[in-house]
Structure 1
């Protein structure tokens, strides 16, 4: 604990965002470049080095947060990077994309603003790359065993890196033309610039991981053939079966899933397209769904030049402060949070009908109506109470030329044939069934990440990748492994 009084003398300061008027004109990350490092040493001083650090349990990775806070406070960046990477393969991803359940579990957060753990994490990761403190770590010798990892999202990449470093020969199969899964084509550039991802992929290549892009297992390669070719297979395809909006008018042109819309915008940034065929430019956009994916659509539509953007959330507006009875510390509370996209929408007044930023809370879609050509033109909604019952007399209509559905995902998709070809058993909710060792009903086939757990956070995805790697290593070596397993398949976030 570098400064025993740091939490008393230093206020919380977060990485400042660039002015709204500036950042909506480009696709760069929203934060002020270079403004984080001057802050983090003082912010790390606020860590109390608690006797029982609940931030460890709040994060499924078990990050050694007080240790690297202390090292950052002392500006020992090499040691801080070593402690950070000891539990997290990709801290520059989580430092930008994770909602930071660790901060909700910070002991200081009982009665003060939490330590800026996420910002400190990001600063360590970026400094590690700048100073060459994250070199490739190839194995000393190869085991002679081979593993196929299907899917290159955070779970698949974490599993592949851990197994490669353990000495196994690993090939990652990705159906898209580039590695990264949702981090590549789902997360907008303004949340995480893709050079961070490219840098990690290059590191993994240098360590020996092989990548097979534009290859859909089950279609381009038979699943049984792949299983026969490798000693073990890890399924980390994510939860790609999106939830639908069952209302009249869903069939109208101009109504699309968020994951049809966001990848096209990202492909424009990659240089594959001159402009998106689903661009929001000049359109009245309504986003159905109040989560992070909806916010990603919001920020993207603003940058594309939408005429208006409104986001509908079926839940009521959350409180500004934690409800200690319903969501006591150290659980992650549902609070009113202003993301960068919502801040932009608020300042630019993209949704004149909204009460705050671009969101209409407690709003449920009744129907969509269109014009004579079958294109959507309006969305009809109604206010609902806490039990999702319609409030009489609250129906209203929004102009809508583009409706984006961001309602979450129910499990892995079935269209590629992978699940059926292998004969994998599924849970009642549609996810892949597995045992305590991440093993499916098919010998040698393991499942991890959102495909088996269900839709979750990036920290849980990486923790699943690390844990399934340990299970596969035990399977390949006859029961022993030195790889860490931060979670079991049955672990869940802390709740009241």
Structure 2
């Protein structure tokens, strides 16, 4: 029986982050493991509500009250079993998900800090690996059916694991030199050390999943050949086409780069696959355009590379520090200021500004970014930006990183070869059964919904796997997300 007074006895608390002067000297994760006492107290704050709205906030339908109470009573084996029932990779979501479940926590009705669901989740999987509770699972009798999964991000890996456990022969194709997609080369190690990917890959390999790296499907192997070798194909290639500002004067200058180019190059150095990066912030004045997760990742990387100074620009006004119940009533995702660990490491955030020009130093190299303050108002659902007269100024910039979002999946020969189409958002069109317009070709993850959360990618991978299993005539049903229609986070 959960403790109904737990949230009254214990306040919300997270493990202390590693000290800034220490952590910016390396690439290790910011958060150390939580103590047993801390995580037990945090799990005790969960009341096991009669109607747990944390489920409503989670696209995977994680059984949050169940495993909170199992942690409260110290039953780690049962806790990881409950967590794995809905989430293939809690070590990823527990580190990277923004936790919409916490925004929907019932404690929020009374203005109380929500249960630290994300922290409990990551501690469950940490303990599970420490106690050797994460082992290869029994797979079903071979079905004789072969499935190709193109892309090895969280959507592709979740689908591959589900299908392999159902007895299908699964091969994952990855054009990069290592498995993991953006988890591997897009997410810095201070958020996700790559050992977490490697040990999960060992489990999938033991369960029969085959991995082929360095294969650009559509180039190194044609779609025709791929389909000839497999009974179904799942496209899970992500949404990597970065938004750009081609009309901004000076965009062509040296030193102006897409954020992902910076992050990928830095990750390859950290992994030991490269000795230097062509986009190095060391000793430079850096301007990051974009106030979201990717911008914060660039900020943390710039600190660790030794930037002389960093400005992070946001087009919109500074959000409030707490939920406005009139504007964002519980359990909706609130518009509030989100501070990432990188923000306490240094740099300056500048809100409500728009870039007017990348300024040339006379040699074709950027030397500054000219910005102007803006006001933003919504008219008929559209944002109207107005420049503030006389507000223009320059920020010194030797390196500019564009972290302004993604425009869907990249152009690929594979899509034309398969005959699939993309919509106005740059995502691949699909039917309700996750099939594209081409029979036997399915799509999931960011390639299907556009750039989104890792928890959505895993949910879509599981749902697509269930659809593929049915398409192949598989006996029984594969577990799909409990809550595939969960509300997406509001776009502002």
TM over 0.5: yes
Q: Secondary structure at the match of 2:472?
A: helix
User: Structure 1 residue 294: deviation in Å?
Assistant: 0.4
Residue 380 of structure 1 corresponds to 370
User: Structure 1 residue 13: deviation in Å?
Assistant: 0.6
Q: Is residue 466–residue 486 contact of structure 1 (8 Å, CA) maintained in 2?
A: no
User: Structure 1 residue 15: deviation in Å?
Assistant: 2.1
1:481-496 aligned at under 5 Å gives the runs 481-486=477-482, 488=484, 492-493=487-488
1:450-461 aligned at under 5 Å gives the runs 450-461=446-457
1:324-363 aligned at under 5 Å gives the runs 324-345=325-346, 350=347, 358-363=348-353
Residue 94 of structure 1 corresponds to 93
Q: 2:291 matched to 1:290?
A: yes
Equivalent of residue 354 in structure 2, options 325, 346, 364: 364
Q: Is residue 36–residue 119 contact of structure 1 (8 Å, CA) maintained in 2?
A: no
Unaligned stretches of 5+ residues in structure 1 = 351-357
Residue 317 of structure 2 corresponds to 316
In the alignment, the residues of structure 1 paired with residue 172 and residue 218 of structure 2 have an alpha-carbon distance, to the nearest angstrom, of: 15
Q: Secondary structure at the match of 1:278?
A: coil
- TM-score, structure 1 normalization: 0.95
Residue 165 of structure 1 corresponds to 165
In the alignment, the residues of structure 1 paired with residue 442 and residue 115 of structure 2 have an alpha-carbon distance, to the nearest angstrom, of: 37
Q: 2:424 matched to 1:428?
A: yes
Deviations 1:374-395 (A, max 9, x none): 1111100111101321111111
In the alignment, the residues of structure 1 paired with residue 70 and residue 266 of structure 2 have an alpha-carbon distance, to the nearest angstrom, of: 39
Residue 40 of structure 1 corresponds to 39
User: Structure 1 residue 479: deviation in Å?
Assistant: 8.1
User: Structure 1 residue 241: deviation in Å?
Assistant: 1.0
User: Structure 1 residue 225: deviation in Å?
Assistant: 1.6
Q: Is residue 369–residue 396 contact of structure 2 (8 Å, CA) maintained in 1?
A: yes
Q: Secondary structure at the match of 1:211?
A: strand
Unaligned stretches of 5+ residues in structure 2 = 377-383
Residue 49 of structure 1 corresponds to 48
User: Structure 1 residue 206: deviation in Å?
Assistant: 0.7
Residue 148 of structure 1 corresponds to 148
Equivalent of residue 406 in structure 1, options 403, 406, 429: 403
User: Structure 1 residue 275: deviation in Å?
Assistant: 2.0
RMSD, matched Cα: 1.4
Q: Secondary structure at the match of 1:132?
A: coil
Q: Is residue 59–residue 481 contact of structure 2 (8 Å, CA) maintained in 1?
A: no
In the alignment, the residues of structure 2 paired with residue 492 and residue 330 of structure 1 have an alpha-carbon distance, to the nearest angstrom, of: 10
Q: 2:395 matched to 1:395?
A: no
Q: Secondary structure at the match of 1:477?
A: coil
Q: Secondary structure at the match of 2:220?
A: coil
- TM-score, structure 2 normalization: 0.96
Deviations 1:305-328 (A, max 9, x none): 001111101011000111112211
In the alignment, the residues of structure 2 paired with residue 208 and residue 478 of structure 1 have an alpha-carbon distance, to the nearest angstrom, of: 17
Stretches of 4+ moved more than 6 A in 1? none
Deviations 1:187-239 (A, max 9, x none): 00000110011110111001100001011111111112212210000000000
User: Structure 1 residue 138: deviation in Å?
Assistant: 3.7
Q: Is residue 433–residue 467 contact of structure 2 (8 Å, CA) maintained in 1?
A: yes
Residue 476 of structure 1 corresponds to 472
Q: Is residue 97–residue 455 contact of structure 2 (8 Å, CA) maintained in 1?
A: yes
User: Structure 1 residue 140: deviation in Å?
Assistant: 3.6
